[in-house]
Structure 1
Amino acid sequence: MLPNVTVNPAAEKFMRRMVRFAGQGEGAGFRLTVSAGGCSGYSSEFTVEGAPLAGDEVLSVGDLKLFLPAESRLMLEGVTIDFSDTPTASGLTFFNPN
């Protein structure tokens, strides 16, 4: 089951750039693994994959494919994903209103 997740335009732009520059082909997508931990309460890792891995669900954000493993889908329910770029750090950020 896909989570109710919002991907803000800055995060979508970042993900699209990663997929485009990885050169994995037409079916490629952004695989996001999220776990508990980190400063914001979430820790994330990503890769660009040519196709979803076993157990992944595909969340479409426009024509961007976001591959989500089961543990990530549970963590992302109701979350807004954004991208922050400051002089001291850059990366995906997660906001959970709950």
Structure 2
Amino acid sequence: MKISITPKAKQFISRMIRMCGGTKSAGMRLIVGEGGCSGFTTDFSVVEEPQQSDTIWEDGVRLFIPKECLPYFEEAIVHFIETPTETRLIVLSGRKNNNSCGCSSLPPDHSNG
């Protein structure tokens, strides 16, 4: 599984884990599914341990990904958006999506964190 996570997303996930009192074993359980105008919905929670069927992904932060969500994370980019009108964590999947909506496009500065 190849996942890229932007610096802004890493900062957000680390901050959420700290705010929730997470230990070193804690991580963010990240659920992605069909739906929403961008073709995918995202839900997350900070948890101390992954569920038995979760895949653990680590790169500066720990993500716990449910087995049924793994296809959405193939060649995915995890990004955090914070503007005056919205704050959200998004997963842009490498999985083919026939939805023509442009909502899932990363902002131009995503590589700069």
Alpha-carbon RMSD: 1.4
From the two aligned structures, give the one with the greater strand fraction.
1
Runs of 4+ in 1 over 4 A off after TM superposition: none
User: In structure 2, which of residues 64, 71, 76 is the aligned counterpart of residue 74 of structure 1?
Assistant: 71
Aligned to 2:53: 55
- After TM superposition, the score normalised by the length of structure 2 is 0.77
User: In structure 1, which of residues 66, 84, 87 is the aligned counterpart of residue 84 of structure 2?
Assistant: 87
- After TM superposition, the score normalised by the length of structure 1 is 0.87
Unaligned runs of 5+ in 2: 97-113
> For 2:92 and 2:62, how far apart are their aligned partners in 1?
21
Say whether 1:18 aligns with 2:7: no
Unaligned runs of 5+ in 1: none
> For 1:91 and 1:34, how far apart are their aligned partners in 2?
13
* Fraction of identical pairs, as percent: 34
* Matched residue count: 95
The structural deviation recorded for 1:71 is 1.7
Q: Which has the larger radius of gyration?
A: 2
